[in-house]
């Protein structure tokens, strides 16, 4: 499929080769291995003399189709699909690090990404430094001779702070350091970090890419040279995506654009409503005029995304009462679903951080994260308004 086609067309019309059965929709290739025509083909495939399927831990037509779509949508040369978003995050870092190396990690990345950095890497002799997302003027001093990678997420989870991708990529290139961007919140429909200079892009496909809370998965994207190292690492450590999940996620990409249009429209309307609500101290959404980085958001994002955060008056106790007062909204740890989800990050997704660390990345005790769903916006606003009233 020519990459001159528009986003929506690429997401729908990029497909695995049709089989002899002439199917219109790509089937699920639920097989652990693939048959060789003869001994010479088996030898050549294992010698990497040409591409082909050997074993589903290595590749599978369903995961290949999903990867091909994601490469076209993100503007990447190659990719590898993993069993979860966190396996993608880990597998996007580990192949490029060894004992004695140093990595810079934005302190505002997802909680489990922080745990890998602070709890696992030191066991293997890998040093780290934290970058403050709100103090980019301090990043230059973090680079060391052994720095191999800068890992960041934009917009951040859940504080919705932004990183200037163009400036950060220029800084990393000056130091010969790989820039690895978690693009989970924006999806390739709203933001394409490679176009701004990122070397590697990671996704938790579990979120907006799936969009209905059904399948776990992740994907790592980048140049052929970088993904060759990722593929070697994953081939021998085994975090491969299942054919069934790859099939679901590839199908989900067909509707990503129309879903994100509704997510962002609903989210902006909800954010504007919350700004006017007397029981809300503050609201964060990238495309709100009150967001301190709104001009940057509009530079590198197509729209503001499907996540809204707000600080409810009354602190952590009020926040918990708010969650307990919801009726329609789901109270779960996921996000990016067709159904609106409310979360209290301080006591759940980021509970392993200290109070000081949470506060430093904008996760205050009364902060509520709303993953705004695809329900009618009137019903979403009614739900949030009712919970705010009942939780007084």
Asked whether residue 107 falls in the same domain as residue 147, the answer is: yes
Extended strands (E) in the chain:
78-82, 102-106, 127-131, 147-153, 178-182, 200-204, 218-222, 280-284, 307-312, 330-331, 341-343, 367-371
Judge whether 157 lies within some domain: yes
Residues 145 and 131 both lie in one domain: yes
Which among 325, 339, 338 has a CA at the least distance from the CA of 383?
325
In a domain? residue 1: no
Kindly report, residue by residue over 185-230, the tens digit of the pLDDT: 999 999 999 999 999 999 999 999 999 999 999 999 999 999 999 9
* 2 within a domain of the structure (yes/no): no
pLDDT number for residue 30: 97
Q: Is residue 354 part of a domain?
A: yes
Strand order in the sheet with 178-182: 78-82, 218-222, 200-204, 178-182, 147-153, 102-106, 127-131
The verdict on 224 and 242 lying in the same domain is yes
Question: Is residue 355's pLDDT more than 80?
Answer: no
Q: Are residues 263 and 385 in the same domain?
A: yes
User: Which CATH number do you get for residue 93?
Assistant: 3.40.640.10
The pLDDT assigned to 350 comes to 65
With respect to residue 74, please indicate whether it lies within any of the assigned structural domains: yes
What span, in angstroms and rounded, lies between the C-alpha atoms of 156 and 105? 12
Residue 155 falls inside a structural domain: yes
Domain boundary among 227, 253, 279: 253
Number of domains, the chain: 2
**Residue among 92, 161, 103 at smallest CA distance from 132:** 161
- The last residue of one of the domains, among 209, 226, 253, is 253
Residue 29 counted as domain residue: yes
Q: How many angstroms separate the CA atoms of 38 and 52, rounded?
A: 14
Please list, in sequence order, all residues whose beta carbon lies within 8 angstroms of the beta carbon of residue 322, skipping any fewer than 6 positions away.
Answer: 312, 342, 368, 387, 388, 391
Tell me, what's the pLDDT at 317?
87
Q: Are residues 217 and 268 in the same domain?
A: no
292-301 pLDDT tens trace: 999 999 999 9
> What is the structure's pLDDT at 2?
56
Mean pLDDT along residues 329-351:
87
Q: Which of 196, 224, 253 is the last residue of a domain?
A: 253
CA–CA dist 367, 108 (Å, integer): 15
> Residues 86-107: pLDDT tens digits?
999 999 999 999 999 999 999 9
Residues 242 and 364 in one domain: no
Average pLDDT over residues 320-347: 92
Could you read off the pLDDT of 298-315 as tens digits, one per residue?
Answer: 999 999 999 999 999 988
Give the pLDDT band of residue 333 (cuts 50, 70, 90): confident
> Residue 359: its pLDDT value, please?
73
Mean pLDDT of all residues belonging to the chain: 94
Based on the domain organization, do 63 and 189 belong to the same domain? Answer: yes
Stated as kind and residue range, the H or E segment containing 11 is helix 7-13
Do 244 and 316 share a domain, yes or no?
no
d(CA 345, CA 320): 11
29-33's contacts with Cβ under 8 Å and 24+ in sequence apart are 29/56, 29/60, 29/61, 29/62, 29/243, 30/243, 30/244, 31/56, 31/60, 31/243, 32/56
Comparing CA positions, the residue from 89, 109, 32, 64 lying closest to residue 205 is 89
pTM for the model: 0.94
pLDDT of residue 191: 98
- Domain residues for the domain of 352 are 256-390
Q: Is the pLDDT of residue 144 over 70?
A: yes
Q: Are residue 105 and residue 196 in the same domain, yes or no?
A: yes
Domain co-membership, 21 together with 126? yes
Confidence category of residue 1, pLDDT binned at 50, 70, 90: low
Pull the structure tokens for residue 28.
């699920």
Backbone dihedral region for residue 111 (phi beyond 0: left; psi -120 to 50: alpha; all else: beta) = alpha
**Residue 312 located in a structural domain:** yes
**200 near 221, Cβ under 8 Å?**
yes
Is residue 376 domain-shared with residue 296, that is, in the same domain?
Answer: yes
One domain, residues 174 and 79: yes
Indicate whether 366 pLDDT > 90: no
Q: CATH number for the domain including 382?
A: 3.90.1150.10
If we measure between CA atoms, which residue out of 254, 106, 250, 96 comes closest to residue 182? 106
């Amino acid at each position: 499929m020519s990459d001159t086609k528009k986003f929506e067309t690429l997401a729908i019309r990029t497909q695995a080769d049709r089989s002899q059965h002439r199917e219109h929709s790509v089937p699920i290739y639920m097989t652990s291995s693939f048959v060789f025509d003869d001994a010479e083909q088996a030898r050549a495939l294992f010698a990497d003399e040409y591409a082909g399927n050997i074993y589903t831990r290595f590749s599978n037509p369903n995961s290949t189709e999903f990867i091909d779509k994601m490469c076209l949508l993100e503007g990447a040369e190659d990719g590898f699909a993993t069993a979860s978003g966190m396996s993608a995050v880990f597998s996007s870092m580990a192949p490029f690090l060894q004992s004695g190396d140093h990595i810079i990690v934005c302190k505002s990345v997802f909680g489990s990404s922080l745990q890998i950095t602070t709890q696992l890497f030191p066991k293997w002799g890998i040093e780290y430094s934290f970058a403050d997302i709100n103090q980019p003027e301090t990043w230059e001093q973090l680079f060391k001779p052994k720095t191999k990678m800068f890992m960041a997420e934009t917009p951040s989870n859940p504080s919705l702070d932004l990183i200037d991708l163009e400036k950060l990529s220029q800084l990393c290139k000056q130091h010969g350091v790989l820039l690895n961007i978690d693009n989970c919140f924006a999806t390739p429909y709203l933001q394409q970090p490679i176009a701004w200079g990122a070397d590697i892009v990671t996704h938790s496909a579990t979120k907006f890419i799936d969009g209905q809370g059904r399948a776990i998965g992740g994907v790592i994207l980048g140049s052929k040279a970088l993904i060759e190292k990722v593929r070697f690492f994953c081939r021998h450590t085994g975090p491969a995506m299942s054919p069934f999940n790859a099939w679901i996620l590839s199908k989900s990409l067909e509707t990503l654009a129309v879903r994100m249009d509704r997510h962002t429209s609903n989210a902006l309307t909800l954010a504007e409503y919350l700004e006017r609500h007397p029981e809300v101290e503050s609201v964060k959404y990238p495309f709100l005029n009150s967001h301190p980085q709104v001009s940057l958001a509009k530079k590198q994002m197509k729209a503001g995304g499907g996540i809204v955060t707000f600080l409810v008056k009354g602190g952590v106790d009020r926040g918990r009462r708010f969650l307990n007062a919801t009726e329609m909204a789901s109270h779960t740890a996921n996000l990016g679903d067709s159904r609106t989800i409310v979360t209290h990050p301080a006591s759940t997704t980021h509970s392993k951080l200290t109070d000081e660390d949470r506060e430093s990345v904008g996760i205050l005790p009364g902060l509520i994260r709303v993953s705004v769903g695809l329900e009618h916006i009137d019903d979403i606003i009614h739900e949030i308004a009712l919970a705010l009233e009942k939780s007084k």
